Structure 1
Amino acid sequence: MASKRSDAKQNREHLLAVARAMARNGEVPSFNELAKKAEVGVGTVYRHFADQQALLAGLVEEQLEDFRALIEHAVANEDASAALEELFRGAVELVVHRPLVAKVLAQSKDEFRATEAKVEAVVARAKKAKVLRADVGVSDFRRLVCGIELAARVGPQPREAAQRYVEIVLAGLLL
């Protein structure tokens, strides 16, 4: 039994490695393309991933852990302004460097719900400290992060553009 589990885990890791190599600019390969490139049957892909969203989540598991750690660090930071800036800058940097994470955050209600309360705590604390505009909410935060990632990818030098856009947005958000 343990060998079947071990084989299944190896198959999943192989599929994820192939899918990562195929993923370009935030695009997840179709199951048929993945099966062909991984040299397995499409049924094997479906056994490991129920749908494209499950494959996408598998591709970004580690990066989502980085995002969660970033949130935890911001929650622990007692300086409301610094915590909010750190979280916003870190989230933008993560999604610009890892476009698939942006796709998960933009599309996955489950992932958003899993982090929403903690991000809301950082946002609420910044509002209470009067360092953040009162009309900014957690959904604005998520949309702005994803929006900057999208805007930065449109032109050349996305990382530099993202840094510039972060400065512009923070200047409008912070008091």
Structure 2
Amino acid sequence: MSTPPLRKDAARNWRHIVETARQYVDDGKPLQLNDVARTASIGVATVYRHFPTPEALLETVALPAIEKLLRRAEHALAEDDPWVALREFLAAVIEVMLTDPAVPPVFAAATDTLQDTGDLKRGLAIAFGELLARAHAAGVIDSSVTESDMTPLMCGIAYAANMQSDLDPTERAALGLRYLDLLLTGLHRP
């Protein structure tokens, strides 16, 4: 069952709420629905009608980046070279983790509020599993490396790059990609 389209005013309010929340997240402010409503000059009840929890709003803010990441995973799966495909996908993950502050807490959440979020995260996990399996089968990555090994390593790269608070997000992403290259150099089996 699909949801009916929003009325024009409701759709406009929804977009304004999401835009306001995006600014909160980008500025590092806590995402509280009452504060978002006040900043957006929209009634609190309207905000809660669209987004019953801050988690639902945060996931909505993060969804475009996660959707883009899934498209990049699909592109990587179409790559013939398993090593290039794996590198391309992991680089995309690091880039998103370091340039969109809405994504890391959504990835770290134990549960998902929105169905779309869960579906996208499952799709990413499946794509990553396939990319890693292809790299293993081709013998281009240490065969002992598992999916569960890579998650904390990727988080560690993002954490290390984020420690450089004097850098802007683009510079932190470049640093994160450098750290990823160092990690992958150690894992690569030419």
Q: Structure 1-normalised TM-score?
A: 0.88
Report the Cα distance in structure 2 between the residues aligned to 1:87 and 1:166, rounded to whole angstroms. Answer: 11
Aligned residues of 1:71 and 1:118 also touching (Cα < 8 A): yes
In structure 2, give the amino acid aligned to 1:123.
L
CA contact (8 A) 1:30 1:52 kept: yes
Q: Is the 8 A contact 1:28 1:56 kept in 2?
A: no
1:81 corresponds in structure 2 to 83
Task: Name stretches of at least 5 consecutive residues in structure 1 with no aligned partner.
Answer: none
Q: Tell me, yes or no, if structure 1 residue 170 matches structure 2 residue 172.
A: no
Tell me which of 14, 18, 43 is aligned to 1:12. 14
Q: Superposition RMSD on alpha carbons, in Å?
A: 2.1
Of stretches 7-16 and 96-105 in structure 1, the one that deviates more from structure 2 is: 96-105
Q: Is contact 1:16-1:59 (8 Å) kept? A: yes
Unaligned runs of 5+ in 2: 112-117
Specify which of 47, 51, 75 is matched with residue 53 of structure 2: 51
| Cross-structure match for 1:21 | 23
Count of paired positions = 174
Deviates more, 1:79-88 or 1:128-137: 128-137
Q: What fraction of aligned residue pairs are identical, expressed as a percent?
A: 32
Q: Deviations over 1:98-153 (max 9, x none)?
A: 12122222226524323211110001010111111222222333333333222211
Change in 2 beyond 3 A, CA 1:42/1:52:
same
Q: Distance in 1 between matches of 2:27 and 2:132?
A: 30
Distance 2:5 2:64 in 1: 25
